[in-house]
Structure 1
Amino acid sequence: MAATTPGSFQGPDAQGRVQLSGDWTLAHATRLERALAALSAREAGVQRIDAQALGKVDTAGASLLLQLAGGAGLEQFDALAPRHARLLAAVAQADAEPLPAPVREGVGDFIAGIGAAVLAIWRDALRLVSFLGLLLATLPRVLVSPQRWRVAPWVVQIHQTGLNAVPIIALLTFLVGAVVAFLGATILREFGATLYTVDLIAFSFLREFGVLLTAIMVAGRSGSAFTAQLGSMKSREEIDAIRTLGMDPVQVLVVPRALALLVSLPLLTVLAMLSGILGGAVVCALALDISPMMYFSRIHDTLEVRHFWVGMSKAPLFALMIALIGCLEGFKVAGSAESVGKHTTSSVVQSIFVVILIDALAAVFFMEMGW
């Protein structure tokens, strides 16, 4: 192994010039550090540093050379080899302190936070619209080519998002129907109009509660599952492997899930409507002395079928948005478990928000149309 020449420096002389020599490496760093501790570049009046005789330099030596140069950096060095200059520049950049973040207080901080939130919402909306366009562009290519149909994954997703959700949807809407019946009976009893509790239950579940409660439950159950599944695949680089095999991840992963929800959510909505109405019938029979025969006869005589179709018309739109948001958040996962959890939570929040927003807009639209 070749011997090394210990690094050293001479000066500064009367003109403030320092002469470097030898190897400024980690092996000699302790001795050089003690020598520099006795020499302050400013107090000694170092003006120029002659690096013509400088030997090997590593990162430890580069840090000591920058300490010798003080705050002037590379400007003080003469005859510095290009390789040494690049190393010193890299070490200087690595040692540089980051600029302090601007401090905002009071109203400025509040307004800046609002602006950042609005910008984030706008970007998420653009991504969602772009992803919707990508899905709509992929669907025709899949539907017109039977060899591209992925029937097995589609059936599996229908089973997971639809059939497995039947117990929780039925129980939830049955209980909500009972609660609505109790509340309606409490208020309407004061006016001697307990019979109109039947109208309240049927009207609310056919138009709003059936589809809305189902969509919220599906968003929390299936939407989060879509994000977790795709996020885990993203973190394990399985989506990159799908692309490497020449397949389209949207066609393989998104289309079966979106089509499954387009089938499952309307069917679950019908189940939710029936369960809610049945829950109201039980309460009316036990607390209001309204027999099941009278209950269902009242529904048949007073409610129009258009209320059912108003509620059902929102189910496919809710299903599409929940599938889109769940899959899009899954594709956003960065690769860590923390990122999977973050985007799963974001998927549920966004899905529920979008479902309620669309439901509110639809309610205003149907009211203005007289439907």
Structure 2
Amino acid sequence: MSADADFTEDNGTLRFSGRLTLANLRDMPDRLDGVGDAQAIDLSTIDSMDTVGAWVIHRFAEARGARISGLDDDRRHLMEQVSAADEPAAVTPKPLPSFFRVLDEIGDATVTAGQTLKGLLGFFGATVLAFGTVIRSLFSGDSKFRFNAVVQRFEVVGVSALGIIGLMSFLIGIVIAQQGAVQLRQFGAEVFTINLIGRITLRELGVLMTAIMVAGRSGSAFAAQLGTMKLTEEIDAMRTIGVSPMEALVVPRTLAAIVLMPLLGFYASLIAIIGGGLLCWISLDIPPVTFIQRIREVVPITDLYVGLVKAPVFGAIIAVAGCFQGMQVEGDAEQVGSRTTAAVVQAIFLVIVLDAFFAVFFTWIGWN
């Protein structure tokens, strides 16, 4: 029969014996409460000790400031674990002052932006390599070019967007003409409203507003489609059967955006000019024939070239940003929504930044 836990007191030293286990402690915790000062605890003569026994000894030693001795390696490890579990909970640090908290958030945002830019550049490089593989396959006889997929993207990116882009451009042309006429009338120079409409639509707003609209429509669609395919493991299945997702999914979408952006930008510019011309006819009594003749005189051909050069670059940025964010989806369906929003914001931001660089560049080469 197992021996109950017991102890004896000798000159401030408590010597324990028996089994310091839950079944054998009996009334020992109550007896320990009646013990006065104790400088040392000797456990060399105990038979065994479990977690409850170690807990009782530890709490007594902590309360009396006594030193524990007579432990072998296993019992010492048990006492260390009990002591570690008895540590007080970590104190919640005081919140940072507002100024430092703002700096911390700015730093986190900067790091996140840098990591996103790095990932986007890497994805752009992978897209270029995928384009190279597809082009090389055309000459090797084993074509990887997916014509049907590209045509389908043409319809989604281009044909389906004609209505909303045309309406937006028409209204922008009217707004530019109306605001320009109001301001120029103060100087008796309403005729220069035609200059304003022609140059700003062909050079800047036609392509820029089209890029923003395509980013909202097609860039978000690319991110949502690829994100859903990532969640349903369709992309992993494509890799398993030997199909490259970059070649099958990213290349057709990017190619469609690159090809159709110049066409959509030119279409938007023409519709904006028509809207501006209509308002000039109604408000300024400038007939359409005069309006068209004046447009031909004051708008240099370089303005058209500027728009056509920027458009495919904007298309590539929109497609790459949308596909990149879609391929980053993982975890749950909430990621699809957040990545889609990030794709639109990222694409519009990069388009505006590149438009500023293009403005400086074309001015530097004399296309102004």
TM-score, length-scaled by structure 2? 0.80
CA distance in 2, matches of 1:12, 1:169: 94
Contact 2:20 2:48 in 1 (8 A): yes
Equivalent in 81, 86, 100 of residue 108 of structure 1: 100
CA distance in 2, matches of 1:48, 1:345: 67
Post-superposition Cα deviations, 1:166-207, rounded to whole Å, max 9, x if no partner, equal 111000010000000101111112222222111110100000
- CA change 1:317–1:54 in 2 (3 A) is same
Alignment partner, residue 139 of structure 1: 131
Contact 2:181 2:193 in 1 (8 A): yes
SS in structure 1 at match of 2:96: coil
* 1:344 partner amino acid: T
Equivalent in 208, 215, 220 of residue 219 of structure 1: 215
SS in structure 2 at match of 1:145: helix
* 2:149 partner amino acid: P
* 1:261 partner amino acid: A
CA distance in 2, matches of 1:254, 1:309: 28
Alignment partner, residue 286 of structure 1: 282
Contact 1:52 1:78 in 2 (8 A): no
* 2:97 partner amino acid: E
The count of aligned residue pairs is 349
RMSD over aligned Cα atoms:
3.8
| Structure 1 position 104, deviation (Å) | 2.0
Aligned pairs (5 A) from 1:162-177: 162-177=158-173
Contact 2:21 2:48 in 1 (8 A): no
1:122 is aligned to 2:114: yes
Post-superposition Cα deviations, 1:231-278, rounded to whole Å, max 9, x if no partner, equal 112222222222222222212221111111112211111110111001
Please, which moves more after superposition, 199-208 or 222-231? Answer: 222-231
Gaps of 5+ in 2: 63-67
CA distance in 1, matches of 2:230, 2:322: 14
Post-superposition Cα deviations, 1:313-340, rounded to whole Å, max 9, x if no partner, equal 1111111111111111112222212222
SS in structure 2 at match of 1:334: coil
CA distance in 2, matches of 1:67, 1:254: 66
Contact 1:52 1:79 in 2 (8 A): no
* 1:125 partner amino acid: L
1:235 is aligned to 2:231: yes
| Structure 1 position 20, deviation (Å) | 8.6
Equivalent in 312, 315, 325 of residue 316 of structure 1: 312
1:206 is aligned to 2:233: no
CA distance in 2, matches of 1:98, 1:315: 57
CA distance in 1, matches of 2:36, 2:133: 76
Identity over the aligned pairs, expressed in percent?
Answer: 36
Contact 2:228 2:336 in 1 (8 A): yes
CA distance in 2, matches of 1:37, 1:247: 74
| Structure 1 position 347, deviation (Å) | 1.2
* 2:299 partner amino acid: L
* 1:210 partner amino acid: G
Equivalent in 300, 303, 307 of residue 307 of structure 1: 303
Equivalent in 170, 174, 179 of residue 183 of structure 1: 179
Please, which moves more after superposition, 155-164 or 43-52? Answer: 43-52
* 1:267 partner amino acid: L
Contact 1:20 1:49 in 2 (8 A): no
1:345 is aligned to 2:341: yes
Equivalent in 299, 321, 326 of residue 325 of structure 1: 321
| Structure 1 position 19, deviation (Å) | 6.9
Alignment partner, residue 196 of structure 1: 192
CA distance in 2, matches of 1:77, 1:159: 83
Contact 1:69 1:76 in 2 (8 A): no
CA distance in 2, matches of 1:16, 1:283: 103
Contact 1:228 1:344 in 2 (8 A): yes
- CA change 1:143–1:111 in 2 (3 A) is same
Q: Which has the larger radius of gyration?
A: 2
TM-score, length-scaled by structure 1? 0.80
- CA change 1:136–1:189 in 2 (3 A) is same
CA distance in 1, matches of 2:137, 2:353: 36
Alignment partner, residue 161 of structure 1: 157
Contact 2:20 2:54 in 1 (8 A): no
- CA change 1:184–1:17 in 2 (3 A) is farther
Contact 1:232 1:340 in 2 (8 A): yes
